[in-house]
Amino acid sequence: MPQLHLHLLSDSTGETLEMIAKAALAQFEGVEVVRHFWPMVRSQQHLDRIMGEITRNRGLVVFTLVNPEIRIQLESRCAEAQLPTVSALDAVTESLSRMLGQEQLHRPGRQHQMDEAYFARVEAIQFTIAHDDGLLWEEWEEADIVLAGVSRTSKTPTSIYLANRGYKVANIPVVPESPPPPALYRLKRPMVVGLTTSPDRLVQVRRNRLLSLNQAPETDYVDKERVDDEVRYARRMFADNNWPVIDVTRRSIEETAAAVINLHNERRIGQAGTKPV
């Protein structure tokens, strides 16, 4: 299998580059991609430190740099090393400049200032980590979203992804032998979303998890009949409480999170529409 070293170099957090790279790489199969992530490159000294690693792991350099001096240095040094470079946003910013009749501001992306949105996201991440796996249920009313689902339905990674988008998220495992706290059914502010999956897929995921931990893969945790009962119990709970449900069987974490955000936005619009004029 061919291998590609992909260097993602940004003067900001690099989130934009990561999304662009992921979308582009999805168009190719049968390639092993080794990603090298270089965020917050804002000085000549920082560029000097990472150039050695870039030249040792030859590949494609994709960047978003607005500082002309650092950009020129990167392109020059990559050209000397015969490494291809791509500026990820040039075509878009140049087109916008022409259409709007404005010069671009030449400032780094989301991190150019510690604004309210930045601090809100930090707070969301802290809240989400503190309220993982059913913890601190007394504070769930402060959440934006509460995810519920049986074990291994990607509750935690989905919660963290949403937190990075600024949402305060709590999550709780649905276990037939251990009912959730009654407070779950009285929540007003947060939107509760049920995550479900096919029992066959769930058995496979759980078995792989046990094997990765060097544990015996033949327990009640992966018993097909037991898993069927768990999934039915969770789905009945979701239906009884009229909570929206997302089937994660064939969804990536990003796709699940996007579906949750859509539900949250629809709920917010609906609530705004019912307010008295």
Residues placed in the known binding site for ADP? 149-156
Of the candidates 103, 87, 95, the residue with the CA atom closest to the CA atom of residue 11: 87
What three-state secondary structure class fits 149? strand
Name the phi and psi angles at 11, rounded to 5. Answer: -95, 5
Structural tokens at position 156: 């935690």
Residue 15 sits at the vertex; the CA angle it makes with 12 and 18, to the nearest 5 degrees, is 120
Q: How far is 127 from 84, CA to CA, in rounded Å? A: 42
Angle between helices 155-164 and 116-130 (to 10 degrees): 160
Q: What's the gap between Cα 46 and its chain centre? A: 27
Residue 86 pairs in a beta bridge with 62
Alpha carbon distance 163, 155 (integer Å): 12
Contact call for residues 149 and 184 (beta carbons, < 8 A): no
**DSSP, res 101:** T
Binding residues: 149-156
Q: Which two tokens stand for residue 183?
A: 């407070």
Q: Is 267 helix (H, G, I), strand (E, B) or coil?
A: helix
Report the DSSP beta bridge partners of residue 10. Answer: 64
Cα–Cα distance for residue pair 147/215, rounded to 1 Å: 28
CA gap 71, 87 in Å, rounded? 9
